[in-house]
Amino acid sequence: MSNIQNKVILVTGSSKGIGREVAILLAKNGAKIIVNHSNSQKEADETVNEIQKNGGEAIAIKADVSDRDQVKQLFDKSIASFGRIDVLVNNAGTMISKKLKDCTQQDFSKQFNVNVKGVFNTLQEADSKLADNGIIINFSSSTTKLMLPTYAIYSATKAAVEQMTRVYAKEIGRGISVNAIAPGATETELFMNGKSEEQIAKLSAMNAFNRLAKPIDIAKVVLFLANDDSKWISGQVIGANGALV
């Protein structure tokens, strides 16, 4: 397998959780990383420090992906620092777990603004600013197939991301591949928050390996998709869920 040595990779929402693991793993394999965050400067700096400690190159840039102007600045600052962007990983996201009848207007808006509008904004910038023959990896979720109670709005946002992925892959051209990765239940702060041990055990038992995914399990799939050996895969949603669905 060819490597990702010296590729410049922008990972949105990479100060913690899966995004942090993705950023660190890509850097270990020779990529130069832009660690994006919206309001986690301390964690973003810690991620950059971890990458640099391992001999890698990284910078942190604050930008709210739901804000068009901030996304433009994110791309421009990234290109000013590294000269180009080869790979875009749209990892930034938020999840509010409630029954549909209990979701507020704010709950709806927050999830769609970050999860859908955020991807829309970065894809628009990438159309002219991502390098030729680049790679885009959007984050969906296996909840789009599970029909789990309390995930209606979140799942709807990820279904929107999947459809944008399929269509945009045919639109962008310039040799750029576009895919989505759909993780299953993964052991992150965002996912674990508010769940009982019983809920965790039930979710763990739903896949073939009887455990939650670790962030590194997802990061390894992103590493493959960020590699040029994956280029003939485009317009696809890759389930990374241990046979959950």
Residue with tokens 């709807």: 156
Q: In which element (H, E) is residue 136 found?
A: strand 135-139
14 is catalytic: no
Comparing CA positions, the residue from 58, 19, 57 lying closest to residue 37 is: 19
Query: What DSSP designation does 113 have?
Result: I
User: Where would I find the H helices in the chain?
Assistant: 17-28, 41-53, 68-82, 105-112, 118-129, 143-146, 152-171, 189-192, 197-204, 215-225
Q: CB count, 10 Å around CB of 79?
A: 17
Is 154 in the active site? yes
Is 168 annotated as catalytic?
A: no
The encoded tokens of residue 219 equal: 């990061």
Structure tokens, 102: 């209990």
Which of 38, 141, 142, 177 is flagged as catalytic? 141
Whether 32 contacts 78, CB under 8 Å: no
DSSP 8-state class, residue 186:
B
Q: Give the position of tokens 């109670």.
A: 149
* From 14, 140, 142, 230, the catalytic residue: 140
| Residue among 32, 129, 145, 158 flagged as catalytic | 158
Of the candidates 154, 155, 168, 230, the residue annotated as catalytic is 154
- 158 is a catalytic site residue: yes
Residue 149 to residue 24: CA distance in whole angstroms:
33
Name the residue among 32, 129, 48 with its Cα closest to residue 81: 32
Position 47: which residue type? Answer: T
Active site (catalytic) residues: 140-141, 154, 158
